[in-house]
Structure 1
Amino acid sequence: MQVTDVEKVPSLFSRTNPFQAKVLKNMNLNGEGSTKETRHIELSLEGSGLSYVPGDCLGVVPDNDPELVASILEVMKWDPETAVVINKQNETLPLKEALLKHFELTLLSKKIVQQAAEFSDNEALKQLVADTEQLKAYTDGRDVLDLLSEFGPWKASAHEIVALLRKMPPRLYSIASSFAANPGEVHLTIGAVRYMAHGRERKGVCSVMCAERLNEGDTVPVFVQLNKHFNLPESSEQDIIMVGPGTGIAPFRSFIQERAVSKAAGKAWLFFGDQRSATDYLYQEELEQYQQAGALTKIDVAFSRDTAQKVYVQNKMQENSQELFAWLERGAYFYVCGDKQNMAKDVHNTLIDIIEKEGKLSREEAEAYLNGLQEQGRYQRDVY
């Protein structure tokens, strides 16, 4: 078979059959003294047949935290070697391995609590399940260990409890590299999630696995997920404006690398923000090199903890409102990636403010203008 034929063959690897990608590099992007930990991870796709375009996502299938699994086994006094069924095909695995690799343990659904209540005589649990509002509040921020330790003893076998759990879902991350710039590799930018809730430290399943237990030379199961709604313009002559604070920088690193390789004629403007410039300016050196080389026309940064008055990416947009609107009028594409809860809403509203002010439009006209951009595919969001 010739090489040209190989390239036409679709990859055998997918969501249902992930590829074991070797870890080439895993480093912390934040400086000493930062309150954050953001991992830059480089994985090999050699031999997978997988490829991607800027804007696509990588699915990662994580393992659970071994400490969490050990705590569940201890609380339930279960034998780790007990065989349990893990799927509809009646495949079995030792309990410990099943809990590590196959089941979601950190999210509690109302359904799991309701079904578990049938295996307990605990009055408090019966009352909880009877009250929809209380049940909803209970499941928020709690996990399977909370449920099992708070409402025992249980009249159920390990097999019956495991049967209530849902399958471990993969985690999707915006790809932080261009395939053209890094053939045979894929890069990720992942913020480690750790927080206290209900008296215990909680850890993001995949992000903390990547931060604490994924070493160079290890392999991790991955697949490529296309993202049809977040792509570079078809013409490289179009200008692009990218707003990506924190790990929202990921797809824009991919965009910038791609445009550098293709020597795109269009201009590129990046808004990046985080807490402190000294410790949290992700990819600073690289971005500044791209700016010197001309692949990035303009960088505006906002570091919220560097000043008494907190400054965010939307404040930087406001400061540059005249120029930003001029770029839009010339046909620029506008992209946002990152936090859906606050940042994306603030950026959206700021964009309407800018269009209203600089375009001398009414609020309704400014909103219609932005809707028009969205319909043309010139306003794209990758928010989570």
Structure 2
Amino acid sequence: MELQVMNSPFNQEQTELLNQLLLTLDDRQKIWLSGYLAAAQAPSVPAGNSVQTTEKSTASRQVTILYGSHTGNCQGLAEEFTQHLKDKGFTVKLSDMDDYKTKSLKNEEDLIILTSTHGDGDPPDNALTFYEFLYSKRAPKLDGVRYSVLALGDSSYEFFCQTGKEIDERLAELGAERIHPRVDCDLDFEEDAEAWWEAVFNQLDQSQKESPALSQVAATVTDQPVFSKKNPFQAEVLENINLNGRGSNKETRHIELDLEGSNLKFEPGDSLGVFPKNDEALVDAIIEEMGWDPDLSIIVNKDGEVRALREALISHFEITVLTKPLLEKFAAFTQNQEFHNLLQSKEKVSNYIYGRDLLDLIRDYGPWEARAEDLLAALRKIPARLYSIASSLKSNPDEVHLTIGTVRYDSHGRKRTGVCSGQCAERTEIGDQLSVFVQKNQNFKLPEDPSVPIIMIGAGTGVAPYRSFLEEREETESSGKAWLFFGEQHFVTDFLYQIEWQRWLKEGVLTKMDVAFSRDTSEKVYVQHRLHENSKELFEWMESGAHVYVCGDEQYMAKDVHETLVSIVEKEGNMSPDQAESYVAELRQTKRYQRDVY
């Protein structure tokens, strides 16, 4: 039987499609289809009422999720939220900001933005193009577009969540309407991000009376436990050696961890997150200074988890970094006028918190009129440390290797060490365990085509991912050329992984290597100087399609290398400064210039 337009709620095109489909169905298929449709409608149609056409529901609107991510946190959240929406029947488009076609912005319906902030308030590399478009004259009016922004940052920096704040404000200026107010997250972002997402999802899903929180979404049942940042794997330490020679100014640890049974997977360019523990000596000094009971029960999170005070200070709370928000919270617990005067000056606060920790604060500005529970509630969760993985899973199954530079310094009359690097150097033995998870980094990846040349630039521990690159290329017998630029202080004591580089050179896995040891000559020589010396050949490699990688310190090395690359392109390509900048920007946008900087 054919459906007639006059007797149905369908238009002509829909009727024709239904007629075509019905002619192909057998009785069993028709019965199944009628039952399926009846079941789908039953909860929303009162008994005795006929089905009526309704307005388009919220779920029929397209949701676009864009992320700008440096370390992978925003990307991971964006992927999680995308899957949640798909499971609920939404039409979702997921993209990093670099790959997003900005001309589509004016046609969006519901736009979800997740972005971190990099350096001194700058957008992450893969958000630059989108950010610049928003602030250009080409940015369209966005009337009718709904949006919400989740901003990730670190409150110890002056420009906390700056990129998220600016994108949020600019979208509003262009006429877009907020679905939900922006939320700014600190390093312990998980709970705030989850609460933001629940609120956003409830707005997107207004047609449903009950909107389950993200935490209540059923997980896929697997035979093995799923290890992640929320559920880190306890990896046994297989090796822990100092790569630097006797007399070096540095201590760089090569650590090998056993991943057997974790089912953790990673690719060259990814990072390993490590949840560190604070130095027990520092914790004990704080407890003694405050006269606290180390066995006092403390609630450490919103879920009501309880730990003994000493254990909480060792494993849960951040005590080595001061931030302006922390000082402002502590202001409620002291009448010390000098402390309150300090908070009135942004410059004085910035100067005070640099190089100081919680022990300094409680010693400098007591007495503190608060219970231990109240003071600890003001502290944030100790953040995981991310380290570029220095090994290939193909080459070392069930293992992961790290290259960690030990941080040691004197500040305000006390000797101090980095939390995680100090733990690995001084308090971690073979057989101990570290709490770890894999952090994907899609912005620092080998070319898909193994024949494409690669140029790797790094100083110190910045060579870690290049070790994983070459292990991978050796294992897969890739044919592409590889050129490494490496910088450190001294050839004799600081040539990290020297034997391995030399072996790869001999075997052809590594085509060229140029090194710069800054303290071995009267005039300091850095990797950017070696780049200049090889400018003609470098440009030829770039012109032939080579991918360029930079890993290491952002403020100095990476900044100088970037400026050097632009000057090389300008000189060897006979370009103007603007043309050279555009050339390098194009390399970045096409994923041929990738940076892993910190």
Interval containing the TM-score (normalised by the shorter chain): over 0.9
2:224 and 2:254 map into 1 onto residues whose CA distance is: 28
In structure 1, give the amino acid aligned to 2:235: A
Query: Which is further off, 358-367 or 31-40?
Result: 358-367
**358 and 11 in structure 1: CA distance in 2 versus 1, 3 angstrom threshold:** farther
1:347 corresponding residue in structure 2: 561
2:476 corresponding residue in structure 1: 262
Point out 4+ residue stretches in structure 1 off by more than 4 angstroms. Answer: 8-11
1:375 corresponding residue in structure 2: 589
2:580 corresponding residue in structure 1: 366
2:127 corresponding residue in structure 1: none
1:70 and 1:336 map into 2 onto residues whose CA distance is: 41
**335 and 329 in structure 1: CA distance in 2 versus 1, 3 angstrom threshold:** same
2:473 and 2:226 map into 1 onto residues whose CA distance is: 29
1:4 corresponding residue in structure 2: none
Q: 1:52 deviation in Å?
A: 0.3
1:338 corresponding residue in structure 2: 552
Alignment match of 2:388 (pick from 165, 168, 174): 174
Query: CA-to-partner distance for each residue in 1:60-90, whole Å, 9 max, x for gaps?
Result: 0000011110110111111111111111122
Query: Which is further off, 75-84 or 21-30?
Result: 75-84
Asked if structure 2 preserves the Cα contact closer than 8 Å seen for 1:38 and 1:190, the reply is yes
1:179 and 1:106 map into 2 onto residues whose CA distance is: 34
Alignment match of 1:308 (pick from 499, 522, 539): 522
SS in 2 for 1:341: helix
2:225 and 2:457 map into 1 onto residues whose CA distance is: 33
Alignment match of 1:135 (pick from 321, 336, 349): 349
**292 and 333 in structure 1: CA distance in 2 versus 1, 3 angstrom threshold:** same
**356 and 10 in structure 1: CA distance in 2 versus 1, 3 angstrom threshold:** farther
**9 and 243 in structure 1: CA distance in 2 versus 1, 3 angstrom threshold:** farther
1:52 and 1:230 map into 2 onto residues whose CA distance is: 12
2:267 and 2:518 map into 1 onto residues whose CA distance is: 32
2:470 and 2:283 map into 1 onto residues whose CA distance is: 41
2:120 corresponding residue in structure 1: none
1:276 and 1:174 map into 2 onto residues whose CA distance is: 23
2:255 corresponding residue in structure 1: 41
2:237 corresponds to 1:23: yes
2:224 and 2:580 map into 1 onto residues whose CA distance is: 44
1:79 corresponding residue in structure 2: 293
**65 and 309 in structure 1: CA distance in 2 versus 1, 3 angstrom threshold:** same
Mapping of residues 63-78 of structure 1, within 5 Å: 63-78=277-292
2:273 corresponding residue in structure 1: 59
2:321 and 2:223 map into 1 onto residues whose CA distance is: 38
Tell me: higher relative CO, structure 1 or 2? Use CA pairs within 8 A at least 6 residues apart: 1
In structure 2, give the amino acid aligned to 1:340: E
2:358 corresponding residue in structure 1: 144
In structure 2, give the amino acid aligned to 1:187: H
SS in 1 for 2:226: coil
Asked if structure 2 preserves the Cα contact closer than 8 Å seen for 1:50 and 1:224, the reply is yes
Alignment match of 2:444 (pick from 216, 219, 230): 230
Q: 1:134 deviation in Å?
A: 1.6
1:5 corresponding residue in structure 2: none
2:442 and 2:554 map into 1 onto residues whose CA distance is: 19
Asked if structure 2 preserves the Cα contact closer than 8 Å seen for 1:11 and 1:50, the reply is no
1:3 corresponding residue in structure 2: none
Query: CA-to-partner distance for each residue in 1:30-78, whole Å, 9 max, x for gaps?
Result: 0000000000000010000001000000000000011110110111111
Q: TM-score, normalised by structure 2?
A: 0.62
Q: Which has the larger radius of gyration?
A: 2
2:503 corresponds to 1:289: yes
**122 and 282 in structure 1: CA distance in 2 versus 1, 3 angstrom threshold:** same
The unaligned stretches of length 5 or more in structure 1 are: 1-7
2:496 and 2:469 map into 1 onto residues whose CA distance is: 16
2:494 corresponding residue in structure 1: 280
2:368 corresponding residue in structure 1: 154
Q: 1:138 deviation in Å?
A: 1.5
Q: 1:92 deviation in Å?
A: 1.4
In structure 1, give the amino acid aligned to 2:499: E
Percent identical residues: 56
2:567 and 2:384 map into 1 onto residues whose CA distance is: 38
Query: CA-to-partner distance for each residue in 1:126-161, whole Å, 9 max, x for gaps?
Result: 111222322222122211111111111111111111
**280 and 11 in structure 1: CA distance in 2 versus 1, 3 angstrom threshold:** farther
1:117 and 1:94 map into 2 onto residues whose CA distance is: 25
Query: Which is further off, 284-293 or 198-207?
Result: 198-207
2:227 corresponds to 1:13: yes
In structure 2, give the amino acid aligned to 1:54: P
2:400 and 2:496 map into 1 onto residues whose CA distance is: 18
2:592 and 2:563 map into 1 onto residues whose CA distance is: 16
1:318 and 1:240 map into 2 onto residues whose CA distance is: 17
1:112 and 1:377 map into 2 onto residues whose CA distance is: 39
Alignment match of 2:417 (pick from 199, 203, 206): 203
SS in 1 for 2:438: strand
Q: TM-score, normalised by structure 1?
A: 0.96
Query: Which is further off, 240-249 or 129-138?
Result: 129-138
Q: 1:170 deviation in Å?
A: 0.5
SS in 1 for 2:329: helix
**264 and 139 in structure 1: CA distance in 2 versus 1, 3 angstrom threshold:** same
Query: Which is further off, 17-26 or 104-113?
Result: 104-113
